[in-house]
Structure 1
Amino acid sequence: MNASKSATRSVDTAKAAIADVTPLALRKAIRSGEHTGTTTGYSSGYLQGNLAILPADYADEFLQFCAKNPKSCPLIGMSEPGSPHIPALGEDLDIRTDLPGYRIFRGSTEFTSSTDLTDVWRDDLVTFVLGCSFSFEAAITRGGVPVRHMDANRNVPMYVTNIETSPAGRFHGPLVVSMRSFTPGDAIRAILYSDRYRLAHGAPVHIGDPSQIGIADIMKPDFGDEPVIHEGDIPVFWACGVTPQMAIRNALPEFAITHEPGLMLVTDVLAEAAEFSLQTKSETSQS
C-alpha cells in the first residue's frame, strides 16, 4: 500500500470513529474538558443544536422571532425558566456544561467566552435550542458526497449576509449563512439531501455568486474557518443558527448566552425520526 492510500485510509478511519461516538459519550467528553473543538462530523445521525439563552422577559419575543424565521431558527427544544435541562433532547444533558464553548453577553455587543456556565447561571434564564446544519451533513456524506471542511478537519465557514430577517419585538438583524462548496453534480445531490431536514435549515437559501448576498470575500468568513474550495466548485449557502446572535446583539438584553459558532449541543434525538415526526404532524394538521 502506498503512502497516499494509507493516509486516506487513516483519515476515513478517524472520520468513522468520531461519527460513531454516541451523543452521551460526546457530552461527557465535553463536560470533562476532553473534547473542546467543533462538533461537526460527530455522532452521525443525531440532531445538533445552536443555543440562545435569554432572561424570561425576553423569551416570548424571541419565540416569536423563531416562528417568523423558521429557516434560520428551527426550534427543536425549549427549557422551563431556570432549568438547565431539556429532557426531550437528552436525559443526561446539562445546558451549562455540555457545549464545548459559550459566548456570554452582558448588555453589550461584546462578549466573554467560557466552557462552563455553572457560575453565571440564573433562575430566570430560558434556553432555546435551534436546529443546526451539521445534522444534515451526515446524510450528505452517507450519499457519497464529500464535505470539504469535514475532510480538512475544519469548522464550517459562516458569513453575515445582506438578507434581513423578519423582526419580532426587539429582535432583528441580518441572516447568517454557512457555506459548503461542491462540484456541480455533488451540489445538486447535497441540495436534495439537505431539503429533507427542515429542522436543520432544510434546502439552501443561495447558490453561486456570494456577492449577491453581500459577501465581499468568500475566503474571509465572519465565523468559523477559512473555506476549502476546489477549482470548479460551486459555493452553496444554507441559513445558519448563528443568525440569532446577530438579533441578540441588536436587542441588547442585559444578559444573554449563545454557543460559540460551530461548537454545538449534540442531542439524543435521531434526525430522521425528528423529521418524520414533523412531517406526520404537518400532514395531520392539513387533513
Structure 2
Amino acid sequence: MADDNVPADVSVLTPAQARALFRRGVRTPTAGWCAGWTQANLVAVPHDLAYDLLLFAQRNPQACPVLDVADPGEVGTPLFDGDLRTDLPAYRVYRDGELVEEVADARSVWRSDLVTFLLGCSFTFEDALLAAGVPVRHVELGRNVPMYRTSLACRPAGALHGPLVVSMRPVPASLVPTAVRVTSRYPAVHGAPVHVGDPAAIGIRDLDAPDYGDAVPVERGEVPVFWACGVTPQAAVRASRPPFAIGHAPGHMAITDARDSTYLVP
C-alpha cells in the first residue's frame, strides 16, 4: 500500500512514526528505515511451545539472539512500545507448519496464549557497515535482503528442529576482514558471519533464487558473505510442524525503541 505520508528518506523516521505507518497499512521491507534504531525479528508461539522456543534460541544463539520476550497474551514490551499485532509491515501465519496466509494486521488470528519473542536482526549493523565503507547492496537497490535455508542443522530443542537460515551481502574481497570486524562487535544481532565464499559449501545451490527476500547481484571482485538470520525459527516451524505460530514476513521487521548502539560491544 502506498502512503503519501511516507518520506522519501525513511531513515529519518522515528520508530513510533514508522509503526504508525505500518498500522495504517504501509507494507514494505524495512532495511534502511529508522537509522540508528534496532530492528527485530518476531515469532509468536502458544504458551505450551514457548519453553521449547526459548531453549531452541539458547542452543542456537547466533541465529536466534533473544532481545525480549513478552508474557503470554501481551502485545507490547518495554523494547517495543507499540502493538505487536499491527505495527509491523507484514506477518506470516503458520498452521501445522504450513504457511497459510500473509497479513498486514494479525489481530484476527492472534491468540491470547501467544508468547512473542523479539530476536536480533542483522539490519542493526548495516549502518556500521556503511560507515566502515562496506556496501550494502540490497539497501542500494531498494530491495529486501536475500535469505537462504542452508544444509546446516540447528541444534534441536524439545519439539523444534530445523535448518539454519542465513542472509547474504556481497562484499568486495578486500573489505571482507572489515565486514567481519565490524559485525563481530554486534553479537546480540547475529554478530560475525557464519560463512564466507562458496554458497554450495552450506547447501545453497543458486544465489539468484533466495528462499526469502530478493536476489541481489554479486559483482566481479566481490565475495558472498553470510550471516545467521532470525528467520531461522520460522524455518524450524516449517520443519517441526507445530499446530500454530506467527512470524514477521521476512525482511519486514519490528522496529524497536532500542538504539543500535545498545548492542555494540567494545
- With the length of structure 1 as denominator, give the TM-score of the two structures: 0.87
Q: Does 1:69 align with 2:89?
A: no
Unmatched runs of 5 consecutive residues or more in structure 2: 1-6
1:234-258 CA-to-partner distances (Å, cap 9, x unmatched) read 1100000111011112232221101
| Rounded Cα–Cα distance in structure 1 between residues aligned with 2:155 and 2:37 | 29
1:210 match: 199
The Cα shift of 1:71 comes to: 0.2
1:209-244 CA-to-partner distances (Å, cap 9, x unmatched) read 111000111111111101221111111000001110
The Cα shift of 1:154 comes to: 0.6
Larger helix fraction of residues:
1
Q: Does 1:22 align with 2:14?
A: yes
SS of the residue corresponding to residue 120 of structure 1 reads coil
2:136 match: 147
- Please say if residues 52 and 258 of structure 1, whose CA atoms lie closer than 8 Å, have aligned partners that are also in contact: yes
1:4-51 CA-to-partner distances (Å, cap 9, x unmatched) read xxxxxxxxx95xx22221111111111111x31100011112111111
What is the aligned-residue identity percentage? 46
Aligned length: 260
Tell me which amino acid in the other structure corresponds to 2:80. Answer: G
The Cα shift of 1:145 comes to: 2.1
Q: Does 1:50 align with 2:50?
A: no
The Cα shift of 1:70 comes to: 0.3
- Please say if residues 158 and 222 of structure 1, whose CA atoms lie closer than 8 Å, have aligned partners that are also in contact: yes
Tell me which amino acid in the other structure corresponds to 1:144. Answer: G
| Rounded Cα–Cα distance in structure 1 between residues aligned with 2:11 and 2:182 | 18
Indicate how the Cα distance of structure 1 residues 274 and 207 shifts in structure 2: closer, same or farther if over 3 A, else same.
closer
SS of the residue corresponding to residue 110 of structure 1 reads strand
Question: Which of the residues 209, 216, 223 maps onto 1:234?
Answer: 223
1:167-215 CA-to-partner distances (Å, cap 9, x unmatched) read 0001111101000001112222122111111111000000001110001
Q: Does 1:90 align with 2:80?
A: yes
User: 5 Å matches for 1:197-276?
Assistant: 197-276=186-265
- Please say if residues 76 and 130 of structure 1, whose CA atoms lie closer than 8 Å, have aligned partners that are also in contact: yes
2:3 match: none
Unmatched runs of 5 consecutive residues or more in structure 1: 1-12, 280-287
User: 5 Å matches for 1:132-211?
Assistant: 132-211=121-200
1:6 match: none
Tell me which amino acid in the other structure corresponds to 2:74. Answer: S
Tell me which amino acid in the other structure corresponds to 2:68. Answer: G
Tell me which amino acid in the other structure corresponds to 2:16. Answer: L
- Please say if residues 97 and 239 of structure 2, whose CA atoms lie closer than 8 Å, have aligned partners that are also in contact: no
| Rounded Cα–Cα distance in structure 1 between residues aligned with 2:250 and 2:27 | 13
- Please say if residues 42 and 247 of structure 2, whose CA atoms lie closer than 8 Å, have aligned partners that are also in contact: yes
SS of the residue corresponding to residue 187 of structure 1 reads helix
2:4 match: none
Stretch of structure 1 that moved more, 142-151 or 59-68: 142-151
Q: Does 1:109 align with 2:98?
A: yes
SS of the residue corresponding to residue 211 of structure 1 reads helix
The Cα shift of 1:119 comes to: 1.5
| Rounded Cα–Cα distance in structure 1 between residues aligned with 2:80 and 2:43 | 17
- Please say if residues 150 and 202 of structure 2, whose CA atoms lie closer than 8 Å, have aligned partners that are also in contact: yes
1:3 match: none
Instruction: Give me the CA root mean square deviation.
Output: 1.4
Tell me which amino acid in the other structure corresponds to 2:21. Answer: A
